[in-house]
């Protein structure tokens, strides 16, 4: 669990890309030793990487650890989860892929009835399994120890057996040219299969993804029909408008744009 100060330090790093020990000590009116301890703990959790005089966001070739991702932008992810769930009607079939934001969506879908959910995310399957109004189908393949994601060619082949109403996908990073990016090429292969076998693709990603980088390309924003985030950059708004992608901004306080469900059943 992170302290309030550590969460604020992490938010500062997301905004500026780096934080400095002396500046943080002055801002929080604590000793530099206290700040160094905070930074060391954030680095141990793989949220930050230490550099001379401070720390920067973790490497663009290695993802932040799963437990760390769960606490980053947690309120924003919860709001995005509610907004995405509002888009999906009862009696729908859908894919839900790997990610802490897609897991937030899954928790908000538990009030729905008659859903068929195909997932390569063990955490999603575990959350939805006890609910009799949701049929859960889980992909086979290699289970990633880090986060319970199921990846590999077996998962790709499994996904290709279906054609569903909706896909709820995430991304580790979103470039300002609209590229959707991830760290694991095996996960990307599954995500691409999911995009290709859904009638309506919903991208769910918080605004911190605009500040990150990852090396493997999933696809582009113009391949989705709806993008739900907490706050979009001006460049992203332009891309969505040009590609006729529905953009929904759902703030953590619930004051974002209302999301009407898409159709009565399928998109």
Give me the torsion for CA of 182, 186, 187, 193, rounded to 10°.
Answer: 110
Residue 95 domain-assigned?
yes
Residue 73 predicted with pLDDT over 90: no
In this structure, are 29 and 127 located in the same domain?
A: no
- Regarding pTM above 0.75, the answer is yes
Give residue-wise pLDDT tens across range 221-245.
Answer: 999 999 999 999 999 999 999 999 9
Q: Which two tokens stand for residue 260?
A: 């009407």
Give residue-wise pLDDT tens across range 19-31.
Answer: 899 999 999 999 9
Residue 261 domain-assigned?
no
In this structure, are 125 and 52 located in the same domain?
A: no
The CA distance from 16 to 35, in Å, is 17
Residue 64 domain-assigned?
no
pLDDT value, residue 45: 84
Residue 259 domain-assigned?
no
In this structure, are 131 and 224 located in the same domain?
A: yes
How many independent structural domains does the chain possess?
Answer: 2
Residue 134 predicted with pLDDT over 50: yes
CATH code, domain with 220: 3.40.50.1360
Distances (CA, A) of 242 to 41, 202, 250: 43, 17, 21
């Amino acid at each position: 669990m992170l302290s309030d100060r550590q969460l604020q330090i992490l938010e500062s790093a997301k905004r500026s890309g780096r934080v400095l020990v002396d500046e943080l000590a002055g801002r929080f009116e604590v000793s530099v030793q206290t700040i160094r301890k905070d930074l060391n703990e954030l680095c141990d959790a793989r949220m930050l990487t230490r550099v001379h005089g401070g720390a920067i966001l973790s490497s663009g070739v290695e993802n932040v650890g799963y437990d760390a991702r769960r606490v980053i932008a947690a309120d924003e992810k919860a709001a995005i989860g509610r907004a995405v769930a509002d888009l999906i009607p009862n009696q729908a079939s859908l894919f839900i892929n790997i990610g802490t934001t897609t897991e937030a969506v899954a928790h908000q879908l538990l009030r729905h009835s008659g859903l068929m959910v195909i997932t390569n995310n063990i955490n999603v399957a575990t959350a939805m399994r006890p609910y009799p109004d949701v049929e859960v189908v889980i992909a086979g393949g290699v289970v990633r120890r880090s986060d319970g994601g199921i990846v590999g060619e077996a998962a790709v082949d499994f996904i290709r057996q279906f054609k569903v109403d909706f896909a709820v996908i995430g991304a580790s990073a979103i470039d300002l040219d609209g590229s959707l990016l991830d760290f694991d090429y095996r996960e990307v292969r599954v995500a691409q299969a999911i995009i290709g076998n859904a009638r309506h693709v919903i991208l769910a990603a918080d605004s911190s993804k605009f500040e990150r980088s990852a090396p493997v390309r999933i696809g582009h924003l113009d391949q989705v029909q709806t993008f739900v985030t907490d706050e979009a950059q001006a460049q992203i708004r332009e891309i969505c408008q040009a590609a006729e992608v529905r953009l929904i901004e759902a703030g953590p306080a619930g004051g974002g744009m209302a999301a009407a469900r898409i159709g009565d059943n399928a998109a």
